[in-house]
Amino acid sequence: MDGDWYTTWGFWIGALGTVLGVVGIGWGVYERNHPKRSRLVCRLSESALLKDVEVSDSRDQLQVMLGKHLMPDPYLVRFDITNLGPDDLGPASFDGGHLRFVSPPPVLEGALLAMSLKTLSIVSSTTPASIDYLASQNGGRPSVAIVVEPFLLKVDETASVAVIIAGQPSFETEHRLASFRVQELRGDRPADFEMRVELPLPFLGSMPVTWTRRKR
Same domain, 129 and 30: no
Q: Is residue 134 part of a domain?
A: yes
pLDDT given for residue 169 in this prediction: 83
27 and 43, same structural domain? Answer: no
Q: 42: left (phi > 0), else alpha (psi -120 to 50), else beta?
A: beta
In a shared domain, residues 142 and 180: yes
Whether residues 76 and 132 fall in one domain: yes
Does 106 lie in the same domain as 23? no
User: How many domains does the structure of the chain reveal?
Assistant: 2
> Would 147 be classed as within a structural domain?
yes
Spatial separation of the C-alpha atoms in residues 107 and 51, rounded to whole Å: 16
Residue 207 resides in a domain: no
Whether 117 and 163 share a structural domain: yes
Q: Domain range holding 180?
A: 38-186
Residue with the bigger pLDDT between 110 and 202: it is 202
Antiparallel, parallel or unpaired: β 180-186 and 38-48: parallel
In a domain, 151, yes or no: yes
Give the chain's radius of gyration (CA, Å).
Answer: 28
Task: Tell me how far apart the alpha carbons of residues 172 and 41 are, in angstroms, rounded to a whole number.
Answer: 13
Residue 100 lies in a domain: yes
Residues 21 and 51 both lie in one domain: no
Query: Could you read off the pLDDT of 2-12 as tens digits, one per residue?
Result: 555 555 666 56
Is 48 part of a structural domain of the chain?
A: yes
**DSSP readout, 171-214?**
-EEEEE-TTEEEEEEESSPPPPEEEEEEEEETTTEEEEEEEEE-
User: 24 and 110: one domain?
Assistant: no
The whole model's pTM is what? 0.67
Q: Is residue 196 in a domain?
A: no
Asked if residue 194 belongs to a domain, the reply is: no
Q: 121 and 56 in one domain? A: yes
Mean pLDDT of 134-161: 84
| pLDDT 10s digits, 18-72 | 766 666 665 555 445 544 689 999 999 999 887 655 544 444 567 777 777 778 8
Residues 53 and 100 in one domain: yes
Separation of alpha carbons 81 and 158, rounded Å? 5
Question: What single-letter DSSP state applies at residue 94?
Answer: G
Using alpha carbons, select from 123, 122, 104 the residue that is nearest to residue 114.
Answer: 104
CB 69, CB 166: distance < 8 Å: no
